[in-house]
Structure 1
Amino acid sequence: MTQTLTLSQLTKTYDGVTALRDVSLSLASGERVALLGHNGAGKSTMMKIILGLIPYDGGNVVVTGAAPGSAEARRRVAYLPENVAFHPALTGLEQIRHYLRLRGQDAGAAMGLLERVGLAHAATRRIGTYSKGMRQRVGLAQALIGHPALLVLDEPTSGLDPVSRRDFYALLDGLAAEGASILLSSHALTEVEARTDRIVILSKGVMVAEGRLSDLRRGAALPVAMQITARPGQGDALARALPGAVAQGDTLHLACDQDAKLPTLARISGLGDLVADLEVLPPSLEDIYSHFSRRDGQ
């Protein structure tokens, strides 16, 4: 697969304070990668370097086969900030036409872009009347100009309602299916848990974890939780059969190590008519994020 972004031992300091230290990361076409970290972890610094807005001190950065900030990289990279700003007196259609002309492209493509982000119905309304979610859609329409190979998105769903968030991620899924790479910074961990291919966790400028969610779960080795529901009248018998479980009515809560998950499931399955239902709850992304952040000494 084509590599759209490669960071090799990237380092950046501000007045002697290290913002990024030896960060290495690559994105292939069609990949959706979530960038997680506390405030000050280095996410914004990394994005600014990728966009060519600030220099870096060490390592190497290649963006769509070119140097960050070069004409080739700018042509093929799009950016959507957390809080987009547009002229309130312009309509959505006028704003996108303006950006198309700035990029030297046909202004007639504006309506098609607005349709793609679900704003055709409000194309002739002034942006000053738009909700935040609608303004974010204008920003995404602007970002889609020129069919970018890499999209850098900074908290793109901040302030959006649940339906708008769902629609936004559905659009990102479509872009990834067409081959665009997506680097997404977010604090909404439950969102990115199911809508990204890989996860990167930064802490104090260091990449403390990287990989698929399943890889991070194995690396964190956090306990697996299970909820076992007893059949009517079998709660006491089930509790006696699972002495390590905590009972709440007819539901028992049990935790075990990752390596013990399958033996524990086999043990519960062997209880037969005592069990009405079983739910396995693997560590969430929030649990994993907290684990790796604390491991780095936060």
Structure 2
Amino acid sequence: MSNTVEIDNVSKRYGRIEAVRGVSFALPPGETVALVGHNGAGKTTLIKLMLGLVHPTEGSVKILGEHPAAGEFAARRRLGYLPENVSFNAALTGRELLSFYARLKGESPTQAMALLDRVGLAAAASRRVGTYSKGMRQRLGLAQALIGEPALLLLDEPTTGLDPALRQSFYEIVQELRDRGATVVLSSHALTELEERTDRVVIINRGLMVANGSLDALRRIARLPTRIRLHLTGGRPPHLPGWLEAAGAWRPVNGHVVELDALPEQKMDLLRQAIHADHALEDIEVVPPTLDELYAHFLRSQEDAR
């Protein structure tokens, strides 16, 4: 099966500013990808390149088998896009606005109306958008992005303004689309939120791609320690067992929890020793490096290499 997105050695310059520099990656169907980077890193430029709103200075972009820079970009009708800051005509109702976007994409306005219910706006469909809260406008933006069940969905800070329940509903919709074969690109600063919801992470810094892979793959590359927390029965004894003392960087968390860092090659051995130790354990927590920690690591690595 061919890739949904193919970015090949792409650079984009605005005068003297090089927003994207020599980036290459491919995204297959049925994958959720987190596009991660600080403000100004190049994320939004990459999204605009995929949408065909701007063209690369160098390299090539191929979306659903077409080159947006080549002229007619018919595949755009199979794309969905939610910008970071949604802006709609405040005088239109939610129903009128969604009908307008459905017609732009050649879709049935009647079928598009079901999306208002899907994002929790059915009761507000007849209200003018100017009366909507920020969270409601964000949900309306998501509804327009979903028109026509896009094969590629590009979402820039999609959960801004959504409460926890609506965030959960949003990610359920994303999962449904992915299960149907759509490629979903999530650009967000909410890294903890993305951690368990993406198949792959692409990290961008200063226009360069500094990491690309699954969380497991990035953890193997980064070799950051895993935190192991031992919950000891009856509180921490005055003298810890020899194996724990020998483990090195352990630290008390509270009266009955001890935490230590384990490098990848140490983790299984330390866990086996903990399970077979003489003292009783109530629980063991294994906390792998988080996406926040991986993001900071790869950015530091890039800065150190300069």
TM normalised by structure 1 equals: 0.94
Pick aligned residue for 2:89 from 83, 87, 90 = 87
1:196-215 superposed matches below 5 A: 196-215=198-217
> Mean Cα displacement is larger for which, 186-195 or 65-74?
65-74
Partner of 1:170: 172
1:241-256 superposed matches below 5 A: 241-243=243-245, 244=248, 245-247=250-252, 248-256=254-262
Cα-to-partner distance string for 1:48-106 (whole Å, 9 max, x where unaligned): 11111112111111011111263312111121101111122221111111222233333
Contact 1:221 / 1:258 at 8 angstroms: preserved in 2?
yes
> Which amino acid letter does the alignment assign opposite residue 138 of structure 1?
L
Q: Residues 269 and 61 of structure 1: is their aligned pair in 2 closer, same or farther, counting only changes over 3 Å?
A: same
In 1, the alpha carbon distance for the partners of 2:278 and 2:241 equals: 14
- The question of 1:282 aligning with 2:288 is answered yes
In 1, the alpha carbon distance for the partners of 2:296 and 2:86 equals: 30
Cα-to-partner distance string for 1:182-234 (whole Å, 9 max, x where unaligned): 11100000111011110000111111111111111111100111111211155
Pick aligned residue for 2:267 from 239, 261, 265 = 261
Partner of 1:18: 18
1:33-52 superposed matches below 5 A: 33-52=33-52
In 2, the alpha carbon distance for the partners of 1:234 and 1:50 equals: 55
5+ residue gaps, structure 1, are: none
In 2, the alpha carbon distance for the partners of 1:225 and 1:102 equals: 51
TM normalised by structure 2 equals: 0.92
> Mean Cα displacement is larger for which, 14-23 or 161-170?
14-23
> Which amino acid letter does the alignment assign opposite residue 2 of structure 1?
S
Cα-to-partner distance string for 1:225-272 (whole Å, 9 max, x where unaligned): 111121115522436552132223221111121111011111111214
Partner of 2:221: 219
Partner of 1:130: 132
- The question of 1:65 aligning with 2:70 is answered no
> Mean Cα displacement is larger for which, 121-130 or 30-39?
121-130
Query: How much does 1:15 deviate?
Result: 2.3
> Mean Cα displacement is larger for which, 245-254 or 56-65?
245-254
In 1, the alpha carbon distance for the partners of 2:198 and 2:97 equals: 30
- Find the residue that maps to 2:143 and give its secondary structure: helix
- The question of 1:182 aligning with 2:184 is answered yes
Contact 2:138 / 2:160 at 8 angstroms: preserved in 1?
no
> Which amino acid letter does the alignment assign opposite residue 294 of structure 2?
I
Aligned length: 298
> Mean Cα displacement is larger for which, 269-278 or 131-140?
269-278
Partner of 1:231: 233
- Find the residue that maps to 1:152 and give its secondary structure: strand
Pick aligned residue for 1:294 from 293, 296, 300 = 300
Contact 1:226 / 1:255 at 8 angstroms: preserved in 2?
yes
In 2, the alpha carbon distance for the partners of 1:24 and 1:266 equals: 42
> Which amino acid letter does the alignment assign opposite residue 204 of structure 1?
R
In 1, the alpha carbon distance for the partners of 2:239 and 2:16 equals: 63
- Find the residue that maps to 1:165 and give its secondary structure: helix
Alpha-carbon RMSD across the aligned residues, in angstroms, is 1.7
Partner of 2:148: 146
Contact 1:229 / 1:277 at 8 angstroms: preserved in 2?
yes
Pick aligned residue for 1:101 from 100, 103, 110 = 103
Q: Residues 287 and 232 of structure 1: is their aligned pair in 2 closer, same or farther, counting only changes over 3 Å?
A: same
Contact 1:238 / 1:275 at 8 angstroms: preserved in 2?
no
Identity %: 49
Contact 2:129 / 2:137 at 8 angstroms: preserved in 1?
yes
5+ residue gaps, structure 2, are: none
> Which amino acid letter does the alignment assign opposite residue 238 of structure 2?
D
